[in-house]
Chains A and B, each alone.
Chain A
Amino acid sequence: MARAFTPKVVTANDLLEGDVIYLTTAGNWTRDLRDAELITDEAEAQLRLLDAQSQPQIAVGAYLADAKAGEQGPEPTHFREDFRRTGPSNYAHGKQEAKLEATADV
């Protein structure tokens, strides 16, 4: 029996910045996993991936990552994706840095 399809998000690295990006329902890219599209259908996931791969000027190395529905949007199911949406653990760099700056502005 084929394995049940688990929900996915399309993710990649940004060509210019190198940072992690996700595909949204509208077909744009976001830097916040919570704003990504959670895809629950396997055929749809493949189509969305092809869509991402056809944008080489934005997205590098696009792939489907497992995710699950959370209160504020998709959440990672694996620690690798948890690090990718946050940043490294030895410095507050990466996405967590942007978040710190955003809070400091308020």
Chain B
Amino acid sequence: MYKYNDFDSAFLAERNRQFRTQVERRIDGALTEDEFKPLRLMNGLYLQLHAYMLRVAIPYGTLNPDQMRALALLAAKWDKGYGHFTTRQNIQYNWPKLKDVPDMLDALAEVNLHAIQTSGNTIRNVTADHFAGAAADEIEDPRPIAELIRQWSTDHPEFQFMGRKFKIAVSGASNDRAVLKAHDLAVKIVKNDDGEIGYQVLVGGGLGRTPMIGKVLNEFVAADDLLPYIESVISVWNQLGRRDNKYKARIKITVHELGLEKIRELTEERFAQVRTTFGGADQALFQDIKRHFAAPEFRTGGTEAFDAAYDSDPVFRAWADTNLAAHKAPGHAIATISIKKHGATPGDATADQMRAMADIAEEFAYGELRISHEQNVILPHVHKNDLPAIHARLKAADLATANIGLISDIIACPGMDYCALATARSIPVAQEIATRFEDLKMEHDIGHLQIKISGCINACGHHHVGHIGILGLDRAGVENYQITLGGDATETAAIGTRTGPGFAYDEIVPAVERIVETYLEQRESAEEEFLQTYRRVGMEPFKAALYPAAEKKVA
């Protein structure tokens, strides 16, 4: 795992010391709120509906057991015993007290974690495939690229005050698990016909108010050219992007207004100049970073214990069928720990659960943990023979829910239960949908179906790319939920289409049920997934089920 160097540690200590002073000065009246607010936001501290909220970054979603224990410590000592894992590979604490925050940050710094959001109009924390370094379908671990970009962009003079923030995601696999096409810029590791490794660069994706799917700007950027190429893209946008309107400033709008061809042309022009300024130091740094991400020495040996448990224990089998993914090393698997127990808050884990996961990772899983944008926790490297023991430990910690990729594995933002920007709640909608389908005992029959819920147009819950997307709005002082169908967060990314008028809070679960019933009626076989059925039959049957009265009127 990447170790922060001395410079980073000193920088963190200095930042925390400064922030402690700033908090003191705010409390004794030397700083006004207008002066303090940008300072606290830079340190991940927000003021929400009922309390402060501290957002801690988990770079490329990678944690070691000690870091997970530090997250548990914060939850137990300074919060209400739990933390909330988010879609941006962060953890949020919903109840810190202002006076405690400097101590919380110091506790994080001891394990090289921090709440520095690289906030503002800068290049934000780079996110990565949560199966990075483990997945069978991966060409190369993409995290060194994320770290290289982090080091290069930190304090880069050209990119500190841009027109808007800039979000980058990276993946090295054929299946997109990092929602590449919803980012301002994305890098996908590819191989050309000669077997050389290079990078496909995508631009112009984003969700929020104006959702857009990212487009391929360059099919193959040679390995040595990646940083100069990225710098060229950002530099072109930084000069052209609109600064007059914050809703139009993201690169997705620049790409949309000028066209991909034009951006490509300008990028090439810029690249010709920029490339010569990179003297190869970036490549030396890259090789050094790569060494820190070297995979562990994978064990060898048979999988008898796994096979025996799989054959004899139906509960273990159900969990293995939904929560395991293919690993690149023989005898190994990637295990996803569901933080989506039916009826619980998606993404919330207690301090005890965090400690249990840290212990399991230390004892059985090469000391590695990951956080996914789907708000689950991952053991990226597990020898299959250890899975029965891991499963037993997870059961004891109430973490053995077998629902990854199913209808109850819902992404939901905090919504009006916590978020000051929200227009409606999203957590209880997720809780009720999960509980309802658990009661119906239908979810394994329904199969792969992703529901994503946001409590306002900012789309933190990724609703646009949910197979079923739900957006909570305030319609004349009442919560109202718009449904979209057909969204897709993978390599075949798509923005969902609205079904029609929204639904009241107490109508939303029945509406989802009607959508699912329609899918079950329409599908050609149990193998045809929801999204495939939707793509085959289109919106009409779903509309007819959702708005029967309206259909009659038209008829």
List residues of chain A with CB under 8 Å of any chain B CB: 13, 15-20, 56-57, 60-61, 77-80, 83-84, 87-91, 93-95
Contact = CB atoms under 8 A, between A and B. Distances in A.
B191 to A, nearest CB: 45
Given A16-B99, A78-B477, A90 B50 contact: no
B416 interface: yes
Contacts of A16: 27, 97-99
B50 A56 contact: no
Given A56-B29, A56-B32, A93-B80, A13 B47 contact: yes
A18 B417 contact: no
B418 interface: yes
7 contacts: A16-B99, A17-B98, A77-B477, A79-B477, A88-B50, A90-B431, A91-B80
Given A16-B27, A79-B416, A60 B477 contact: no
Contacts, number: 77
A90 B345 contact: yes
A6 B230 CA distance: 53
Interface in B453-479: 474, 477-479
A82 B208 CA distance: 27
Contact of A18 (B33, B52, B477, B479): B52
Nearest to B52: A18
Q: Categorize the interface residue count of chain B.
A: 20 to 34
Please name the 4 residue pairs, one residue from A and one from B, whose CB atoms are nearest each other, closest first: A88-B417, A18-B51, A18-B52, A94-B50
Interface string B24-67: 00110100110000000000000111111000000000000000
Contacts of A18: 47-48, 50-52, 95-98
Nearest to A83: B416
A25 to B, nearest CB: 24
Nearest to B45: A18
Contacts of A94: 50-51
Interface string B468-495: 0000001001110000000000000000
Contact of A56 (B33, B348, B418, B431): B33
A10 B232 CA distance: 50
B50 A87 contact: yes
Contacts of A87: 50
Nearest to A79: B479
B181 interface: no
A64 B52 CA distance: 20
A89 B424 CA distance: 12
Given A79-B479, A88-B418, A90-B345, A60 B47 contact: yes
Contacts of B180: none
A89 B33 contact: no
A8 B208 CA distance: 32
A96 to B, nearest CB: 10
A61 B94 CA distance: 18
Contacts of B479: 79
Contacts of B130: none
Contacts of B99: 16
